Homo-oligomer: A and B are copies of this chain.
Amino acid sequence: MQNNKLIVIGGDAAGMTAASKVRREQPECEIVVFERGIHTSYSACGMPYYIGGQIESEEQLIARKPEVFRQKQYIDVRTRHEVIEIDPISKRVKVKSLDEENVFWEPWDDLLIATGASPIVPEMENVDAGGIFTLSTLQSGIDVFNFVNEKKPTKAVVVGGGYIGIEMAEAFLDRSMEVTLIDMAPQLMATFDKDMADLIFDYMTEQQVKVLLEEKLVKFEKNPDGSVKTVITDKQSIPADIVILGMGVKPNSELAAQAGIKLGANNAICVNQRLETSAPNIWAAGDCAESFHLITQKQVHIALGTVANKHGLVAGINISGGSARFPGVLGTAITKFNGLEISCTGISEKEAIKLKLDYQVETITSSSPAGYYPGSEKITVKLLVDQATKRILGGQIIGYQGAAKRIDTIATAITAGFTVQQLVDLDLAYAPPFSTVWDPVQIAARKFI
């Protein structure tokens, strides 16, 4: 694209990163962003901490506002505008202005679909009751925050024990609620192995979250005023004033599918490493698009801020006529529940079994920082390697302050194709306030040797 017209659908991480990159590379190009909400470029990942009261204002979650994009970067951001149709032949999109309620066509030379993902909401009785929320857009976070302040709920039920689930369990505890978390799986955090997830279960239970595993959501009951009254599972009825559904997300790919654009893993938009879709001059980036997984060598759908930002940058470079390739993902992720830090990268043992890989696994418990240093706590590291080559395939870390960011060392080593011996050989940083003399990830690696 040479200074032509770019339309971006979706004004969050991927879309605005791409738009900004194109603006830098192509100062004369016309860039229009249609965003159906009212916010741009916000940190969805920060919402649980905002709801929990740790962040003063939702303003702090906004990296850049629409007017800043308009004024400083000459990016024509139109909020409350929903794209309702893509015409890949005539190269135009049909747009609905949500405020003026008119519909118009807008032409493009390049189109970037960055429509994100939406929380999965099960079809069941009374799922529309007041006080039942999902978290996705900043507005959805503000809605929860306002509900907590106004209605002062005391009993929270979180459905789903993934990232959103455990972060919201923490947020609701911080707002002095009784918190019940239910998940139909036999463990929390599906991306972890059960042995590691059990450590999270123990800690959350200790911290007064009632965690109910292998328990399936069936329906809800309403109060006469329409607000949620109880959560009905296959085992019991749980009183609730507020409910968060953290049951995973699905890519917002319907618009693309309707335009005949090919979908891939988990119905995410199929893209190549340049972030090109199956339709000429149509690109996709962020939570609506696939990513290449470095270990499984397959396309996957991973909806994470880090991936969305990288997607946006790669798409932006390519749209501007440059040449960039999305490097692939390891599914590296991190979170915490109160003091417990949790991270993983690469594949889990569970996935290795599913993929029928010949693997070896070791799990160690050490301390971080050094055992004698004040505040030293247990850290558990699980490493998975290919049996034949001893190359690292995945890692999981559970510990306390300063523990989990060590996953980056493992992620870097995996990307480099390192064996466990090469991980042991690394010259990593040691001082008593930070680590044992062999870093815990190396202690785990030494178990294979």
Chain B positions within 8 Å of A402 at CB level: 401-402, 405
Q: Please determine whether B54 and A373 come into contact, CB atoms closer than 8 angstroms.
A: yes
* Shortest Cβ distance from residue A184 to the other chain B in the assembled complex, whole angstroms: 25
Within 8 A of B (CB), among A144-180: 163
Chain B positions within 8 Å of A49 at CB level: 373-374, 432-433
* Shortest Cβ distance from residue A308 to the other chain B in the assembled complex, whole angstroms: 8
Contact with A61, one of B329, B372, B433 (Cβ below 8 angstroms): B372
Q: Please determine whether B405 and A415 come into contact, CB atoms closer than 8 angstroms.
A: no
* Shortest Cβ distance from residue A318 to the other chain B in the assembled complex, whole angstroms: 15
Give the A interface residue count (CB, 8 A): 64
Q: Please determine whether A433 and B55 come into contact, CB atoms closer than 8 angstroms.
A: no
Given contacts A55-B374, A309-B438, contact A415 B408 (CB under 8 A): no
CA distance A43 to B426 in the complex (A): 20
* Shortest Cβ distance from residue A298 to the other chain B in the assembled complex, whole angstroms: 15
* Shortest Cβ distance from residue A116 to the other chain B in the assembled complex, whole angstroms: 15
CA distance A226 to B263 in the complex (A): 84
Please state the number of chain copies in the assembly.
Answer: 2
Most buried by B among A307, A401, A427: A427
Chain B positions within 8 Å of A411 at CB level: 426-429
Within 8 A of B (CB), among A258-301: 294
Chain A window 408-430, contacts with chain B (Cβ cutoff 8 Å), 1 for yes, 0 for no: 11011101101000100111111
Judged by a CB distance under 8 angstroms, whether A248 is at the interface is: no
Contact with A405, one of B54, B332, B434, B438 (Cβ below 8 angstroms): B434
Q: What are 18 inter-chain pairs, A to B, with CB distance below 8 A? A: A13-B437, A43-B372, A43-B432, A43-B437, A46-B372, A61-B372, A306-B430, A306-B437, A327-B425, A329-B427, A334-B429, A335-B431, A336-B434, A345-B429, A405-B406, A411-B428, A412-B413, A416-B416
